[in-house]
Structure 1
């Protein structure tokens, strides 16, 4: 498996600024999530254009390279071919986050704590969901050995969630991981439940929302015992406090005693304080957050569903959904269900409806070939290939999917669909709407109706509105015929200079033809002109590269120099903008070659056909030097 993704993995590492620029790396369902020391060192535009990378998102203090379904294999390969630390590394303290906004810090914290456990959280949630479904339909008998085993498999992770979050929170706050787990274990220690069932000594805060029965005292002070199974906020706060205590204790300890006395004093201080103060206060805070969320929802469930359904995909793109995930889990912990955040559910179905509509209507072979696997992936809730590969570049259709998501969200609220367990995505999410206590299937049917409406809306509206882009339409009617046997298009030289074979370009991606077929030019001056009548599809903000689609359908990338993105636009002047139609010979970009070279950058300029796989061949000029607008490439259909 490593060989398959080795070049991609090495290229990603190189273009995020190298190993030395990476503090830590983790991954979720579709993205590599880098924590970079300096994001300005990453070549974002290159990575966005790189085959094997869907797109790049910079959000929440993370540099996210979206890969798609193969992300786990690419992640493993990156770790194998580099010295980069994986998700087990301890990152994320105040020093790492000092340049982040408060919102970014919060998002970084929540994603760092939940992301490592997300896959197991989803897996065990799916088991709980299907167990509820099997019992409600009579496939598994209540109280049978099968039912008991399925309940064990589904509940084990949620019951001991504080231990798992103790581990991930300890990594996030740079604390000893096993000390963090020990604090979590204390919260779910079985004897605590037994004590809570015993004699009540007295009651604190009687008559208020904070009313608490006291079953034990410590040094004459009341210990407020609570049920922390499946809880979220108490362990995160306790580990954050514990990390502070651990560092203070470690500073005071002699070196030879640190290894055992530091956890000794940390546990001795933090666990009692957690039971007496941190846990109860954090629990009450969670209840207040849950009550506030429910209050907002109760003002108008349909409006809340419309809002979350419409913008959920946007939240996910920028990582902002991590701010809502704790509310969802907290609601499940406090109330046993979540009616608010779950209204996002129709979004993925609206998205795949749009993609299926495009697949059915497009005549573009390349678009059709990527639409079907993206649609299949989206059925199971993984929609990044749909979003970044298909709908987002065609903005109108992304908006259609958001409207479909809004309709689904409103229906979820209208039909009172609740989420009872954090579980599967896409079609695997339906069983999570079954009330495990009553076996009521109404929520699952409501989720099916809402998602079906979202799907049909996206499909029908797209099928009615979709038209292929103009360059693709022109492709079938404008190509020339050569000797009556093949069609061809001549690509002129966009700049004058010395011809350099692509394999001699000092960049692996270009040299190996990973970005397309073509040739390179060592420029003799500082002007780039249109190589044909074409449309500017991509004008990089830094002016160092431009993407064109000729009127005959060839997709051309002109990349001025190597790593010149680092100049951040200095010495480059763009004469056109994205969307402009230009004639062959029109000036596109001017650049100061001498100053670029003086800064230490190579100005060799690849000119490549990125959609070469749609052609029989790309024939290169055999000249050693070319003048501007001389024949450079011949693209044969």
Structure 2
């Protein structure tokens, strides 16, 4: 017997047995169950299993946080349970039976943007590093940047933009691919579709506003002309184009005979989509995206911007629990394309820090408890690096009051961030490293927000614990 046999058996028993498992898979740290009857799972007893660091339900899946050893534990569990290995996509399909319409829409949006996150994180780090060497005056008594004094750093600065441009300016390629992948259409044609939205022969989206009507190139068909405008960094036009292409291809496959399907289906799905993307979907998507970004930006910069910031900072962590936070990715990317930066992402990074700080306080409160530290220390580290789930579900929500303390700290930090006009160049880099994504002129005020997001949650968590504001099951009292 392995060391995972006993906890695997306990988890199987408390989750309702093999007959209650419709599908099961795992990700980097969690077991993901689709249960026949979620009410049969005894959450309290499951969370009492030593290897389990917390549980939560999201997107129709009952998720059990195990940690980095989840893959080995998963193999032992499926062998003991007698259930077959299930892919993440199959589990998601099964989970949708437990979702309402809004949850399904959020799940679809998450499926589109989740595969793009590694690229966005890399892009954010690259833009942040370019900020440090190119924008911050570090030398000659604060008058010159590294780029201005060194040819080497100037070369690095220029070279790194090759990657940054590929990620952010050509983002529609990734989005149309992700939509095609999600919908079950041809992924390579999704990539081709995305390229047609950002082709070098098109006028750059950022140059349209300053261009005269006669300066915009056109495709001239004699009876009609179509402006050759690109949609670099645009989110909504790419999503709309990807959806249209996928719907066309999937439905054409059903009616066109297999003998000619390979020739006819790609042509009849791709060509009309590209045409409609530049005539209808692109302009409409651009207007929708501009409207959304204008509304959000107006709300943040109005006289009541502090109230919007306070509300967003306070509720962002609960949004993560529901999965609704995935919507902010599209809004952030749209703000970046229109405003050359986003004020939302700094608040998200500060919320990450606040949750980690509440866990840090719990480490201090339960400093004599080794069992608690095994869960809380890794959770705090991952939270400060931008991954909040182990901290939120493994510690803060279990106790209750640390979660509230983190929400309050996040709220105050968000007000400071928005009140100071803090903007991020990119998204994807959360927690403490999030400062790398902040525009250099705003780094000092963001650092102030970081201090607030560390101090307030920590102090409030300690105060709440002394007030017996919540239950502290692991604390050993003298």
What's the TM-score, normalizing by structure 1? 0.62
3-state SS of the aligned residue for 1:428?
helix
Q: Residue 409 of structure 1: CA displacement?
A: 0.7
Q: Offset of 1:243 from its aligned partner?
A: 1.8
Higher relative contact order (CA 8 A, sep 6+): 2
Matched, 1:321 2:325: yes
Q: Distance in 1 between matches of 2:37 and 2:237?
A: 33
Are residues 369 and 8 of structure 1, via their aligned partners in 2, closer, same or farther at CA, if it must alter by over 3 Å? closer
Higher helix proportion: 2
> How far apart are the structure 2 equivalents of 1:213 and 1:249?
35
Question: Equivalent residues in 2 for 1:159-558 (5 A)?
Answer: 159-193=169-203, 203=213, 213=216, 215-218=218-221, 220-299=223-302, 300-362=304-366, 363-434=368-439, 441-467=440-466
Residue aligning to 1:632: none
TM-score (norm 2): 0.81
1:207-255 CA-to-partner distances (Å, cap 9, x unmatched) read: xxxxx95622346333243332222111211121112211232123111
More strand by share: 1
Q: Is the 8 A contact 1:113 1:168 kept in 2?
A: yes
Q: Which residue is equivalent to 2:168?
A: 158
Report the CA distance between 1:429 and its aligned residue.
0.6
Task: Give how far 1:17 is off.
Answer: 6.1
CA deviation profile, 1:498-535 (whole Å, cap 9, x unmatched): xxxxxxxxxxxxxxxxxxxxxxxxxxxxxxxxxxxxxx
Residues in 2 aligned to 1:445 and 1:76: alpha-carbon distance in whole angstroms:
47
Secondary structure at the counterpart of residue 55 of structure 2: strand
| Aligned-residue offset at 1:258 | 1.5
Unaligned 5+ runs, structure 1:
205-211, 435-440, 477-637
Q: Which moved more, 1:301-310 or 1:334-343?
A: 334-343
In the other structure, the counterpart of 1:120 is: 119
Instruction: Say if 1:392 and 1:291 are closer, same or farther in 2 by CA, change over 3 A.
Output: same
SS at match of 1:57: strand
- Corresponding pairs, count: 454
Measure, in 2, the Cα distance between the counterparts of 1:193 and 1:125. 25
Which consecutive residues of structure 2, in runs of 5 or more, have no partner in the other structure?
A: 137-144
2:22 aligns with 21
Label 1:472 to 1:455 Cα distance change in 2 as closer, same or farther (>3 A): closer
Checking the alignment, whether the CA contact within 8 Å between 2:4 and 2:76 is kept in structure 1 is yes
In 2 relative to 1, CA 124–473 (structure 1 residues): closer, same or farther, beyond 3 Å? Answer: closer
Q: Which has the larger radius of gyration?
A: 1
Question: Which whole-Å CA distance do the structure 2 matches of 1:269 and 1:13 have between them?
Answer: 51
Segment drifting more, 334-343 vs 231-240: 334-343
